[in-house]
Amino acid sequence: MVATTKMHMNSNLELYLVTDEAACLGRDFYWVVEEAVKGGVTMVQLREKSLSTRAFIERAKRLKAILETYNVPLIINDRLDVALAVDADGVHIGQSDMPFQTAHRLLGEGKIIGLSAEKQDDVLEAEQWNLSYLAVSPLFATPTKTDTEKPWELDGLQWARQQSRHPLVVIGGLHPENVHDAITNGANGVAVVSAICSAPSPREAAQALKSIIQNSILWP
Ligand code: TZP
Ligand code: MG
Protein backbone atom coordinates (compact mmCIF):
# COMPACT_ATOMS: atom_id res chain seq x y z
CA MET A 1 0.00 0.00 0.00
CA VAL A 2 1.28 3.44 -0.85
CA ALA A 3 1.58 5.69 2.18
CA THR A 4 0.12 9.16 1.79
CA THR A 5 0.68 12.11 4.06
CA LYS A 6 -2.28 14.12 2.79
CA MET A 7 -5.80 12.84 2.57
CA HIS A 8 -6.49 14.56 -0.71
CA MET A 9 -3.49 15.55 -2.77
CA ASN A 10 -5.14 17.13 -5.77
CA SER A 11 -7.18 19.91 -4.26
CA ASN A 12 -6.22 23.24 -5.79
CA LEU A 13 -6.45 25.88 -3.09
CA GLU A 14 -5.31 28.86 -5.15
CA LEU A 15 -8.55 30.81 -5.28
CA TYR A 16 -11.10 29.58 -2.77
CA LEU A 17 -14.59 31.10 -2.77
CA VAL A 18 -16.50 31.03 0.54
CA THR A 19 -20.15 31.73 -0.14
CA ASP A 20 -22.38 34.22 1.61
CA GLU A 21 -25.71 34.91 -0.02
CA ALA A 22 -26.05 38.24 1.81
CA ALA A 23 -22.83 39.39 0.14
CA CYS A 24 -24.26 38.66 -3.34
CA LEU A 25 -26.22 41.95 -3.30
CA GLY A 26 -29.56 40.42 -4.25
CA ARG A 27 -28.25 38.62 -7.34
CA ASP A 28 -28.95 34.96 -7.94
CA PHE A 29 -26.70 32.89 -5.66
CA TYR A 30 -25.97 30.16 -8.22
CA TRP A 31 -25.25 32.70 -10.96
CA VAL A 32 -22.70 34.44 -8.71
CA VAL A 33 -20.92 31.18 -7.89
CA GLU A 34 -20.93 29.94 -11.49
CA GLU A 35 -19.57 33.26 -12.77
CA ALA A 36 -16.83 33.09 -10.14
CA VAL A 37 -15.92 29.58 -11.24
CA LYS A 38 -15.84 30.69 -14.88
CA GLY A 39 -13.39 33.39 -13.74
CA GLY A 40 -11.04 30.83 -12.20
CA VAL A 41 -12.17 29.92 -8.67
CA THR A 42 -10.60 26.55 -7.82
CA MET A 43 -12.60 25.52 -4.73
CA VAL A 44 -15.98 26.51 -3.27
CA GLN A 45 -17.09 26.35 0.34
CA LEU A 46 -20.82 26.46 1.03
CA ARG A 47 -21.14 28.35 4.30
CA GLU A 48 -24.71 28.66 5.53
CA LYS A 49 -25.53 29.86 9.00
CA SER A 50 -29.29 30.33 8.81
CA LEU A 51 -30.77 27.76 6.39
CA SER A 52 -32.78 24.81 7.67
CA THR A 53 -31.05 21.46 7.27
CA ARG A 54 -33.37 20.59 4.40
CA ALA A 55 -32.72 23.85 2.57
CA PHE A 56 -28.99 23.50 3.19
CA ILE A 57 -29.01 20.04 1.60
CA GLU A 58 -31.04 21.26 -1.38
CA ARG A 59 -28.62 24.14 -1.92
CA ALA A 60 -25.60 21.87 -1.59
CA LYS A 61 -27.05 19.40 -4.14
CA ARG A 62 -27.73 22.11 -6.66
CA LEU A 63 -24.32 23.69 -6.18
CA LYS A 64 -22.61 20.31 -6.47
CA ALA A 65 -24.28 19.70 -9.84
CA ILE A 66 -22.96 23.04 -11.12
CA LEU A 67 -19.45 22.63 -9.72
CA GLU A 68 -19.09 19.09 -11.06
CA THR A 69 -19.33 20.36 -14.61
CA TYR A 70 -16.25 22.53 -13.94
CA ASN A 71 -14.43 19.89 -11.87
CA VAL A 72 -14.33 22.26 -8.89
CA PRO A 73 -14.61 20.67 -5.41
CA LEU A 74 -17.52 21.50 -3.09
CA ILE A 75 -16.62 21.92 0.58
CA ILE A 76 -19.31 22.16 3.26
CA ASN A 77 -18.74 24.45 6.22
CA ASP A 78 -19.23 22.80 9.63
CA ARG A 79 -21.97 20.34 8.74
CA LEU A 80 -20.69 16.79 8.36
CA ASP A 81 -24.25 15.55 8.00
CA VAL A 82 -24.85 17.79 4.99
CA ALA A 83 -21.48 16.84 3.47
CA LEU A 84 -22.35 13.15 3.81
CA ALA A 85 -25.90 13.64 2.54
CA VAL A 86 -24.72 15.13 -0.76
CA ASP A 87 -21.37 13.31 -1.00
CA ALA A 88 -19.50 16.60 -1.02
CA ASP A 89 -15.76 16.66 -1.63
CA GLY A 90 -14.99 17.70 1.92
CA VAL A 91 -15.67 19.81 4.97
CA HIS A 92 -14.25 22.89 6.56
CA ILE A 93 -14.23 22.86 10.36
CA GLY A 94 -13.56 25.61 12.85
CA GLN A 95 -12.15 25.43 16.34
CA SER A 96 -15.56 24.98 17.96
CA ASP A 97 -16.88 22.49 15.39
CA MET A 98 -16.47 18.72 15.31
CA PRO A 99 -12.89 17.64 16.16
CA PHE A 100 -10.66 16.64 13.24
CA GLN A 101 -10.42 12.96 14.26
CA THR A 102 -14.20 12.62 14.38
CA ALA A 103 -14.67 14.36 11.04
CA HIS A 104 -12.00 12.15 9.48
CA ARG A 105 -13.57 8.97 10.85
CA LEU A 106 -17.05 9.90 9.64
CA LEU A 107 -16.00 11.12 6.19
CA GLY A 108 -13.50 8.39 5.40
CA GLU A 109 -10.41 8.58 3.22
CA GLY A 110 -10.14 10.66 0.10
CA LYS A 111 -12.09 13.67 1.32
CA ILE A 112 -10.82 17.19 1.86
CA ILE A 113 -10.71 18.38 5.47
CA GLY A 114 -9.72 21.96 6.18
CA LEU A 115 -9.40 23.52 9.61
CA SER A 116 -9.37 27.15 10.75
CA ALA A 117 -6.47 28.29 12.91
CA GLU A 118 -7.37 31.39 14.89
CA LYS A 119 -4.36 31.52 17.18
CA GLN A 120 -0.84 30.13 17.54
CA ASP A 121 -1.86 27.11 19.65
CA ASP A 122 -4.26 26.04 16.87
CA VAL A 123 -1.39 25.93 14.36
CA LEU A 124 0.81 23.87 16.68
CA GLU A 125 -1.98 21.46 17.61
CA ALA A 126 -2.85 20.90 13.93
CA GLU A 127 0.61 19.45 13.19
CA GLN A 128 -0.55 16.04 14.45
CA TRP A 129 -3.36 15.73 11.86
CA ASN A 130 -3.28 15.04 8.13
CA LEU A 131 -5.25 18.08 7.14
CA SER A 132 -5.80 19.04 3.53
CA TYR A 133 -5.16 22.64 4.50
CA LEU A 134 -5.02 25.00 7.44
CA ALA A 135 -6.89 28.31 7.16
CA VAL A 136 -5.12 31.24 8.80
CA SER A 137 -8.19 33.13 9.99
CA PRO A 138 -8.69 36.03 9.87
CA LEU A 139 -5.58 37.29 8.09
CA PHE A 140 -6.90 40.86 8.18
CA ALA A 141 -9.89 42.45 9.91
CA THR A 142 -13.04 42.23 7.80
CA PRO A 143 -16.59 43.59 8.07
CA THR A 144 -17.85 40.27 6.65
CA LYS A 145 -17.08 38.48 9.94
CA THR A 146 -16.50 40.50 13.08
CA ASP A 147 -16.70 37.84 15.82
CA THR A 148 -13.11 36.75 15.25
CA GLU A 149 -9.89 36.47 17.17
CA LYS A 150 -7.21 39.08 16.57
CA PRO A 151 -6.14 39.18 12.89
CA TRP A 152 -2.89 37.36 12.14
CA GLU A 153 -1.49 40.07 9.84
CA LEU A 154 1.51 39.28 7.65
CA ASP A 155 3.98 38.66 10.48
CA GLY A 156 1.59 36.13 12.02
CA LEU A 157 1.25 34.42 8.63
CA GLN A 158 5.05 34.19 8.35
CA TRP A 159 5.13 32.57 11.79
CA ALA A 160 2.43 30.05 10.80
CA ARG A 161 4.35 29.26 7.57
CA GLN A 162 7.46 28.45 9.60
CA GLN A 163 5.59 26.25 12.08
CA SER A 164 3.19 24.36 9.84
CA ARG A 165 3.73 21.55 7.35
CA HIS A 166 0.20 22.04 5.96
CA PRO A 167 -0.81 24.04 2.92
CA LEU A 168 -2.00 27.42 4.22
CA VAL A 169 -5.10 29.24 3.02
CA VAL A 170 -5.62 32.81 4.20
CA ILE A 171 -9.07 34.29 4.80
CA GLY A 172 -10.30 37.68 5.96
CA GLY A 173 -9.99 41.05 4.25
CA LEU A 174 -8.30 39.72 1.10
CA HIS A 175 -8.66 41.82 -2.06
CA PRO A 176 -6.58 42.52 -5.18
CA GLU A 177 -4.32 45.01 -3.38
CA ASN A 178 -3.09 42.64 -0.66
CA VAL A 179 -3.20 39.19 -2.28
CA HIS A 180 0.37 39.39 -3.59
CA ASP A 181 1.67 40.07 -0.06
CA ALA A 182 -0.34 37.16 1.33
CA ILE A 183 1.18 34.74 -1.19
CA THR A 184 4.74 35.97 -0.81
CA ASN A 185 4.45 35.74 3.00
CA GLY A 186 3.47 32.09 2.95
CA ALA A 187 -0.09 31.50 1.73
CA ASN A 188 -0.70 28.66 -0.73
CA GLY A 189 -4.19 29.89 -1.42
CA VAL A 190 -6.51 32.83 -0.87
CA ALA A 191 -10.10 32.51 0.36
CA VAL A 192 -12.54 35.36 -0.21
CA VAL A 193 -16.18 36.23 0.32
CA SER A 194 -16.87 39.85 -0.55
CA ALA A 195 -14.05 40.41 -3.06
CA ILE A 196 -15.96 38.06 -5.39
CA CYS A 197 -19.56 37.79 -4.12
CA SER A 198 -20.02 41.58 -3.90
CA ALA A 199 -18.04 42.52 -7.01
CA PRO A 200 -19.94 44.13 -9.93
CA SER A 201 -18.68 41.21 -12.05
CA PRO A 202 -17.86 38.12 -9.97
CA ARG A 203 -16.23 36.57 -13.04
CA GLU A 204 -13.89 39.50 -13.69
CA ALA A 205 -13.10 39.79 -9.97
CA ALA A 206 -12.11 36.12 -9.88
CA GLN A 207 -10.00 36.52 -13.05
CA ALA A 208 -8.15 39.48 -11.56
CA LEU A 209 -7.46 37.71 -8.26
CA LYS A 210 -6.36 34.53 -10.02
CA SER A 211 -3.94 36.40 -12.21
CA ILE A 212 -2.34 38.14 -9.21
CA ILE A 213 -2.07 34.82 -7.34
CA GLN A 214 -0.47 33.02 -10.26
CA ASN A 215 1.98 35.85 -10.94
CA SER A 216 2.87 35.90 -7.24
CA ILE A 217 3.58 32.18 -7.25
CA LEU A 218 5.75 32.44 -10.38
CA TRP A 219 7.54 35.63 -9.36
CA PRO A 220 7.48 35.94 -5.57
N1 TZP B 1 -13.76 33.45 8.33
C2 TZP B 1 -12.79 34.26 8.75
S3 TZP B 1 -12.88 35.78 8.03
C4 TZP B 1 -14.24 35.32 7.13
C5 TZP B 1 -14.58 34.02 7.42
C6 TZP B 1 -15.72 33.28 6.86
C7 TZP B 1 -14.95 36.22 6.18
C8 TZP B 1 -14.08 36.68 5.05
O9 TZP B 1 -14.80 37.57 4.25
P10 TZP B 1 -14.12 38.63 3.30
O11 TZP B 1 -15.28 39.40 2.72
O12 TZP B 1 -13.39 37.87 2.24
O13 TZP B 1 -13.22 39.48 4.13
MG1 MG C 1 -17.45 26.75 11.94
pLDDT in tens, 155-180: 999 999 999 999 999 999 999 999 99
45 touches ligand 1 (CB under 6 Å): no
In the predicted structure, residue 10 carries a pLDDT above the cut 90 = no
Task: Please report which ligand is nearest the Cα atom of 114.
Answer: 2
Residues noted as catalytic: 47, 116, 145
Which runs of E-coded beta strand occur in 47-102? 74-77, 90-93
Q: Which band of pLDDT confidence, cut at 50, 70 and 90, is reported for residue 11?
A: confident
63 within 8 A of 33, measured Cβ to Cβ = yes
In the predicted structure, residue 193 carries a pLDDT above the cut 90 = yes
97 Cα–ligand 2 center, Å: 6
The pTM (predicted TM-score) of the whole model is 0.95
Report the DSSP beta bridge partners of residue 114.
92, 133
In the predicted structure, residue 57 carries a pLDDT above the cut 70 = yes
* Nearest atom in ligand 1 to 143's CA: 13
* Nearest atom in ligand 1 to 197's CA: 11
Q: What is the pLDDT of residue 220?
A: 52
Give the amino acid at 86.
Answer: V
80 within 8 A of 56, measured Cβ to Cβ = no
209 touches ligand 1 (CB under 6 Å): no
Residues 6+ apart with CB under 8 A from 178: 140
220 Cα–ligand 2 center, Å: 32
Give the amino acid at 147.
Answer: D
Task: Please report which ligand is nearest the Cα atom of 195.
Answer: 1
Residues 6+ apart with CB under 8 A from 28: none
Q: What is the pLDDT of residue 6?
A: 40
State the chain's mean pLDDT as an integer: 94
Q: How many CA atoms lie within 13 A of 58 on its CB side?
A: 5
pLDDT tens digits along 114-140: 999 999 999 999 999 999 999 999 999
**ipTM for this model:** 0.99
Q: Rounded to a whole number, what is the distance in angstroms from the first to the last CA of the chain?
A: 37
Q: What is the pLDDT of residue 4?
A: 36
* Nearest atom in ligand 1 to 18's CA: 6
Q: What is the pLDDT of residue 165?
A: 97
Q: Which band of pLDDT confidence, cut at 50, 70 and 90, is reported for residue 7?
A: very low
Q: What is the pLDDT of residue 179?
A: 98
62 within 8 A of 30, measured Cβ to Cβ = yes
63 within 8 A of 47, measured Cβ to Cβ = no
180 Cα–ligand 2 center, Å: 27
91 touches ligand 1 (CB under 6 Å): no
Of 62, 52, 59, 91, the C-alpha closest to 75 is: 91
In the predicted structure, residue 61 carries a pLDDT above the cut 80 = yes
Q: Which band of pLDDT confidence, cut at 50, 70 and 90, is reported for residue 217?
A: confident
98 Cα–ligand 2 center, Å: 9
